[in-house]
Chains A and B, each alone.
Chain A
Amino acid sequence: MARPSPKALRGLLVPLAALALWQLLSAKGILNAHVLPSPGAVLERWWTYLRPGEAFDPSQMSKLRWMLSGELPQDAFASLYRVLAGFLLGGGLALPVGLAMGYSRFLHGLLDPLVQVLRPIPPIAYIPLAILWFGLGNPPAIFLISLGAFFPVLMNTMAGVQHVDGIYLRVARNLGAGRMATFLRVILPAATPYILAGARIGMGTAFIVVIVSEMIAVNNGLGFRILEAREYMWSDKIIAGMFTIGLLGLGIDTLMSLLTKRLLRWHRGLES
């Protein structure tokens, strides 16, 4: 990527135009600064939010730690930690359950009715119970996030196993593979495109839920911060926080997509 391609430039066109329009409307005084502050004001607030609060003191901490000691990096870490913990917990449970339900008709028949009833309940609806069960702090937040990640991973893993083309199973049997080898070397890899798609959706859900859960259960993190800014009517900080969330989400999704491309090098659907 030596120089941005025309395609990438085209992608920047609309955001830049929107920014210019926003700036223009603010400068002309058409937009009330309390309702929607100018891009400049947001940027300035973003910088304050990002910057370390105290002067650098080498005896206290390393340069890197100092640079990341600002409010925004700390909030971002806190949110990211919750997302990852919740995702790993929820997705990590969903994977074996989904594999088992996809593989065994018996287990599917046993568990599917319960799954179908629980699945449509949005994690948000668990907030009261989460607080009742886990109090405040990280535990209820991580619980809610893991719920959000659980079902997409579960449903996709299950579908992935169920949709393995029968011919691969026949080939495996013909080549002498037993149940275990067929499962590990045929069913599991055949299901990975579905599983990874589920993981990506699960990660997206985790990201939504972390913001909501931070608004109710904890006192740091990006979700908490934009709610706190609302108390003070700092709309510039609210918007700075929102953009941070957007960029972080984009970053995570890009990483997931790279991982998917790497793991699915063999997959026909990825040719382009």
Chain B
Amino acid sequence: MSAPAQIQVRNVHKVFSTGGAEVVALKGIDLDIHPGEFLCLLGPSGCGKSTLLNAVAGFSLPTTGEILVDGRPVTAPGPDRGMVFQEYALFPWMTVEQNVAFGLQIKKRPRAEIRDTVQGLLRMLHLEEFRARFPKDLSGGMRQRVAIARVLALDSQILLMDEPFGALDALTRRTLQDELLRIWSELKKTILFVTHSLEESIYLADRIVLMTYRPGTLKRDVTVDLPRPRDAASPEFNAMKKELGGLLMEEQNRHAQAEFTGTAVD
């Protein structure tokens, strides 16, 4: 790819100090993500995936190093980098419709435009009949659809997703993965997707970046060039799973080891 990277992570370090002890969550991360790319950050829990995503989102800036989005340094969160959280984080006091409209209202778009955009997104995510419901009356899968519609309303080029399907059952997860792929190819978004599921990352990603555990560094950067839609039962899929599985397991074991010796803090 020769187009300039849309997200540039430059020698990023992140150190947390908690009660005297220092945790090096990220160490010397360099990463370029190109426009329209679907990139999965893969690694065992506690390896720094959320930390990196939060740095790109602007919630928690790097200790040293810098992150550029469209050439400009990230200094704060913003609607140009919509984020979807694992815990949905819908506003419970707003209906589905109001949640989706929120970002547009903040941008002070004209009423008619808000109505049309929201309508379109509700249709795209099959939420039309739930528009007047409150989040408490929705299933997990439906909630995550609303959360996705809510960031799509921002019409940002970049989508950040932190284990968005981690809390869903397998069937719902697959449905939402397929919908996300459909949306991605329709809207040509750049997606930075965090997961600890190897299977999920091979199913979704153009490119998988595997992270190491403590300190968080980039261990392997692989391109997935299997044709879509991908078949998780195909030999190619399984070959890839085997190849990456071994590498992931090494980090998983280091995580387990840390837990065993009581130095894991996640």
Q: A interface vs B, CB < 8 Å?
A: 167-168, 170-171, 173-178, 181, 185-186, 189-190, 192, 265-268, 271
- Across the interface, A185 reaches (CB within 8 A) one of B57, B77, B102, namely B102
B92 surroundings in chain A (CB, below 8 A): 266-268
> Shortest distance in angstroms between B73's beta carbon and chain A's nearest beta carbon?
17
Identify 11 new A-B residue pairs, CB closer than 8 A, beyond the known A170-B83, A177-B106, A266-B136: A171-B89, A174-B77, A174-B81, A175-B103, A175-B150, A175-B151, A176-B79, A176-B103, A176-B106, A189-B94, A268-B92
Bound-complex Cα distance A173 to B81 (A) = 11
A178 surroundings in chain B (CB, below 8 A): 106
Total number of residue pairs linking A and B with CB closer than 8 Å? 63
- Across the interface, B136 reaches (CB within 8 A) one of A170, A189, A192, A267, namely A267
Q: 28 A-B residue contacts at CB 8 Å?
A: A167-B85, A167-B87, A167-B89, A168-B89, A170-B59, A171-B89, A173-B76, A174-B57, A174-B59, A174-B78, A174-B79, A175-B79, A175-B106, A175-B150, A175-B151, A175-B154, A176-B103, A176-B106, A176-B154, A177-B102, A177-B106, A178-B106, A189-B94, A190-B93, A266-B93, A266-B134, A267-B93, A267-B136
Report yes or no: A268 in contact with B91, Cβ–Cβ below 8 A: no
Interface magnitude class on chain B: 20 to 34
Q: B interface vs A, CB < 8 Å?
A: 57, 59, 76-79, 81-83, 85, 87, 89, 91-94, 102-103, 106-107, 134-136, 150-151, 154
Main SS at interface, chain B: loop
Closest B residue to A188 by CB, please name it.
B93
Closest A residue to B87 by CB, please name it.
A167
Closest B residue to A182 by CB, please name it.
B106
> Shortest distance in angstroms between A263's beta carbon and chain B's nearest beta carbon?
9
Task: Point out which of B59, B78, B102, B151 has the most chain A C-beta atoms below 10 A from its C-beta.
Answer: B102
Bound-complex Cα distance A174 to B87 (A) = 15
> Shortest distance in angstroms between A175's beta carbon and chain B's nearest beta carbon?
4
Bound-complex Cα distance A176 to B156 (A) = 11
Bound-complex Cα distance A93 to B76 (A) = 35
Closest B residue to A177 by CB, please name it.
B106
> Shortest distance in angstroms between B139's beta carbon and chain A's nearest beta carbon?
14
B136 surroundings in chain A (CB, below 8 A): 266-268, 271
